[in-house]
Amino acid sequence: MLTIYGAYRSRATRNLWLAGELGIPFTHVPVVQAKRLDDPLAPDAPINTLSPAFLAINPMGSIPSIEDDGVIVHESLAINLYLAKKYGGALGPQDLSEDAAMMQWALFAVTEIEANALKISYASLGEPTDETKAVIEVAARSLKRPFDVLEQHLTGKTYMIGERFTVADINLAEIVRYAQSHAPLFDARPALKAWLERVQARPAFKAMWEKRLAEPATGPV
């Protein structure tokens, strides 16, 4: 039996979306970020990234983590690659070259896109100021090359790998999403924009997103 540790308002979305696509039963433990709580160690605090019970699962104190029949895995993208191989059928790799491509795009997303996309996400939260506008402009400039690579890769294609929806689409889309509020990045890249809209139209994404919106947004997420 699979257990997913991590609130919907966290990178656990990546795993919760995939679990929905897989249609596998799982237990959800909504561990929240300690920084969202006034006193994470208070006896009545909800389970969070500093709770001893969670640190026993992941000593790094970060979400998400999973436990699957005794196998514990951390790191959202590694978790998804594991789940896709174990339960994924067509969502996972069919041969070594697809396995390499799925790893390649996951590492590309996290090393070339995530930090700058997150800057855009955080800077877009409140009323725009000169400072946040400058942060967004610099981050968007840094995303130009990796987004151009994605645009080129996706032109004439429906999905990232093998013309079918796979874990590679989830891992990338959940990182590209952080930059989604900055429309010019997507208006200039129609294939990337259409792909993101296509994968976000999937019932499993929508179901995950509905649960995320229903979750209390206490403190910074």
Ligand X SMILES: N[C@@H](CCC(=O)N[C@@H](CS)C(=O)NCC(=O)O)C(=O)O
Single residue of 2, 5, 8, 11 touching ligand X by CB under 6 A: 11
Q: How far is the CB of 171 from ligand X (least distance, A)?
A: 10
Query: Is the torsion defined by CA of 100, 101, 102, 103 positive or negative?
Result: positive
Positions 63 through 92 that interact with ligand X (CB under 6 A): 63-64, 75-77
Q: How far is the CB of 167 from ligand X (least distance, A)?
A: 14
Query: How many of the chain's residues bind ligand X (CB under 6 A)?
Result: 12
Q: What are phi and psi of 108, to 5 degrees?
A: -60, -45
Nearest residue to 147 via CA among 122, 117, 120, 170:
117
Give the contacts of 42 (CB within 8 A, at least 6 positions apart): none
Is there a contact between 34 and 42 (Cβ–Cβ < 8 Å)? no
Cis check for the bond before 46: say yes or no (omega within 30 of 0).
Answer: no
Instruction: Between 62 and 166, name the residue whose CB sits nearer to ligand X.
Output: 62
Instruction: Between 59 and 203, name the residue whose CB sits nearer to ligand X.
Output: 59
Interaction pattern, residues 147-186, with ligand X; x per rule: CB under 6 A: ----------------------------------------
Q: How far is the CB of 156 from ligand X (least distance, A)?
A: 30
Give the contacts of 152 (CB within 8 A, at least 6 positions apart): none
Nearest residue to 220 via CA among 155, 137, 125, 134:
125
Instruction: Between 105 and 189, name the residue whose CB sits nearer to ligand X.
Output: 105
Q: How far is the CB of 5 from ligand X (least distance, A)?
A: 10
Give the contacts of 147 (CB within 8 A, at least 6 positions apart): 113, 185, 189, 192
Single residue of 4, 5, 10, 174 touching ligand X by CB under 6 A: 10
Interaction pattern, residues 15-44, with ligand X; x per rule: CB under 6 A: ------------------xxx---------
Instruction: Between 110 and 138, name the residue whose CB sits nearer to ligand X.
Output: 110
Q: How far is the CB of 152 from ligand X (least distance, A)?
A: 26
Nearest residue to 121 via CA among 193, 174, 50, 63:
174
Interaction pattern, residues 44-63, with ligand X; x per rule: CB under 6 A: -----x------------xx
Q: How far is the CB of 158 from ligand X (least distance, A)?
A: 26
Helices 114-123 and 130-154 cross at an angle (nearest 10°) of: 140
Reduced to 3 states (helix: H, G, I; strand: E, B; else coil), residue 65 is strand
The site for ligand X (CB under 6 A) is made up of: 10-11, 33-35, 49, 62-64, 75-77
